[in-house]
Amino acid sequence: MEKRFFDSNFEVVLADTFESKLINYNIRYQVYCDEMGFEDKDVFPDEIEFDEWDKNSVHFLVRHKSSENWLGGLRLVHSNANSGEFPFEEWSVPDQQIADSQRNNAVEVSRLCVIKNARRFTAKRFAPYGLPDHEVNENGNVKSIFNHKNQSRSLMWGLLGAAARYSVDHDIRSWYFIVTPALAGLLRINKFEMTQIGGACEHRGERFPYRLDVIKFLENALWLDDYKADYLLHSKIASRGEKARIRDVVESLAG
What angle do helix axes 18-28 and 240-254 make, rounded to 10 degrees? 70
What DSSP assignment string belongs to the chain?
--TTHHHHHEEEEE--SHHHHHHHHHHHIIIIIIIS--S-GGG-TTS----TTGGGEEEEEEEETTT--EEEEEEEEPPPTTT---GGGGT---SSPPPHHHHHTEEEEEEEEE-HHHHS--TT---GGG--SEEE-TTS-EEESS--TTHHHHHHHHHHHHHHHHHHHTT--EEEEEE-HHHHHHHHHTT---EE-S--EESSSEEEEEEEEHHHHHTSGGGGSS--SPPEEHHHH--HHHHHHHHHHHHHHH-
* Mean pLDDT value of segment 23-42: 94
Please, which pLDDT band fits residue 242 given cuts at 50, 70 and 90? low
Its pTM surpasses 0.75: yes
In this predicted structure, the answer to whether residue 227 has a pLDDT above a threshold of 90 is yes
Indicate the range of 136-150, 165-179, 188-202 predicted with least confidence.
136-150
* Mean pLDDT value of segment 45-68: 94
pLDDT at residue number 115:
92
pLDDT at residue number 137:
39
Q: Which residues contact 250 (CB under 8 A, 6 or more apart)?
A: 18, 19, 22
How many beta carbons lie within 10 A of that of residue 86, not counting itself? Answer: 24
Q: CA 243 → CA 9, 88, 100, 140, 248, distances in Å?
A: 22, 34, 40, 31, 9
Give the residue from 154, 167, 165 showing the smallest Cα distance to 57: 167
Indicate the range of 125-129, 181-185, 208-212 predicted with least confidence.
125-129
Domains and CATH numbers, the chain: 5-254 (3.40.630.30)
